[in-house]
Structure 1
Amino acid sequence: MIQIGRYNDLPVLSQLPRGLQLDGGEFGEILLPKQYLQGDEQVGDVLRVFIYCDSEDRLIATTETPKVQVGEFAYLNVVDENRHGCFLDWGLSKDLFVPFSEQRHTLKKGGQALVRVYLDNSERIAASTKLDRFLEDIDDTNTFKQGDEVSIVAAEKSDLGLKVIVNGTHWGLIYANDLFETPKRGQERKAYIKRVREDQKLEISLRPLGFAKVEGLAGEVLQKLKKEGGYIAISDKSSPDAIKRVFKCSKNAYKQAIGTLYKQQLIKIEKDGIHLV
């Protein structure tokens, strides 16, 4: 079955002067315009294409690469507006529409917005900044477990830290004291479940939980790295005096500490110093 607003693998049915007719199953034949062809396509070939609606709401295929698909979140530029809403650049020739009814705050041309792409009741692709209605409360404590690796999208700062979207389905929070780096809004990256609270809220860590459990000199080195922006110009090749001046320890103790961090894949050791991974 065709998925509108997502990639589909469709067979070529026929060749026309204006492009290729693809087999859209229950949706009938779908045109792939000739400007998207490489020239060596044949009837019977199966092509990977993105399906969306043209300006007349007809299904059409493209080999262009959208910045986001239906069901996903993205941070996009507002490129136009009219009396019905605004339009976002999502990488295709036809811009992505955000109705006024789906704007948490009024969007203006030249701005940016974190949106979730969805299909409306007429199967047309649209976007919304009202993210809460797409994100669930956890109703099953087995959904997430402490230490699980997850995918997050940075959403917005709060008084407590940074709100993030977890696995495209739930809200999570990275507390300010855990933000040794701050992902850009809309940035997607991996993270870890730090805690599933009794109220079913998710606390998130950007590092594996071993990061929080490092104690002693290794913990002091981590704190120093966080304070210095992720880099310290002292490696295992530095002089004993330089190490003692900063960490008040012997060179051997320092090497053991950074060795512990290296084994946990928390740092990289370079000639010029050590870096958070």
Structure 2
Amino acid sequence: MYYSPTIVQLAGFASNKTALLLSLVTAGLNALGSIVSIYFIDRTGRKKLLLISLFGVAISLGLLAGVFHETTSHSPMVSRIQTSHFSNYTCPDYSSATNPGAWDCMKCLKASSPDCGFCASPTDKLLPGACLLSNDTVKDLCHDESRLWYTRGCPSKYGWLALVGLALYIIFFSPGMGTAPWIVNSEIYPLRFRGVCGGIAATANWISNLIVAQSFLSLTEAIGTSWTFLIFGVISVVGLLFVIVYVPETKGLPIEEIENMLETRSLHFRFWEKSQKPQEKKSQAV
């Protein structure tokens, strides 16, 4: 969510304005999901909502990983003819390459001495384009010829699927993982430790947010966007398993029963069944 505009550009949408507008849509979905959670949190239950959320998040991240794998594997080629049209601004790495015919858009964008960009074909952005130096002058020259200028991601016919994956991620994340953990966090601690434990949980949450925010772009550059989303998808699956095994269903339970349940380390694998109250267990035992 922090990098929605960047993800949109990585998906092949070159315009900054378009990327920002689409990121506003994801922000709206996030707000809508929070409102939806108000309705479902006490009807569906915390644990079930978390499981649905994490399952959807994992699927969405898997979709994003697949889409970005396709976009990087099938990016437009670099054309010598198109590049020679801007002969004074040819990417140095492309000029000195031993096999420039094998260069595609992604390889052009990975050039770093200096940074290079991809100027798409004027007739069709999916056709071979030019690999040029990345600066404002070249960007303006590219735009002057009604071409699209790419510096983050490459043009792709699968870009819209990345938007679908991003939207699904927000739709699944916001009502569940976006709100339910805070509610569960306020219910599971004994009164004498609630302040300290709540503070520890909030600190852990923001440290995790910081790690994601600081590592996302570095990971996309180091291992690629598809592998980055795949790693996050695996983490989501681990979180799903953790919720199944360790997180209790607290819907409709008094604080005393929640505390007793956690003290006895009761694991509720059947999250759809309401746990028995202590007095019910005693009556069954008799």
- The TM-score normalised by the length of structure 1 is 0.21
Structure whose residues are more often helix by fraction: 2
Structure whose residues are more often strand by fraction: 1
- The TM-score normalised by the length of structure 2 is 0.21
Greater relative contact order: 1 or 2 (C-alpha under 8 angstroms, separation 6 or more)? 2
